[in-house]
Amino acid sequence: MASNRRQILNAVVDLLQQRPDNVPLAFFRPLDPIGALIQLSVRFQTEEDVEWVAQELDDEYGDPFVLLGDVLEAPAFKGKRLKFLQDARVVDRPIHFDTQAVHYVESKWAEKNGLVVKDMKPLG
């Protein structure tokens, strides 16, 4: 089990560090951690696998779910991270960045899964 988790973590880090040769560095934007998790969602078998990989990523890349948790009422993703990743993997437009993931959650996924989006009020 632990070796499978480590393999997934290594694959996620590889995606985060990957840059196509034909894209100049000035124009390249790497995947956000949530985008890498979504791309590799078929490799996860359990919610605990997702949690372990996310915790390991947190040290170097930040919590991949932090922004998503910020837009949802608690308990937000408790027990639903794997389902989110798998659902997000099959949307018509690939999700690579936090902002795309937040838009997907706010516009479709939260309501379909019985979650409530926070009423966000502008500051000031």
The residue behind tokens 């993997």 is 89
Average pLDDT over residues 27-50: 91
Preceding peptide of 75 cis, ω within 30°: yes
CA distances from 45 to 37, 81, 89, 116 (A): 13, 12, 15, 26
Task: Please check the confidence at residue 32 and state whether its pLDDT lies above 60.
Answer: yes
Averaged pLDDT score across all residues of the chain: 87
pLDDT tens-digit series, residues 40-92: 999 999 999 999 999 999 999 999 998 888 888 767 778 899 999 999 999 99
* Rounded distance between C-alpha atoms, residue 61 and residue 63, angstroms: 7
Task: Please check the confidence at residue 27 and state whether its pLDDT lies above 80.
Answer: no
pTM for the model: 0.85
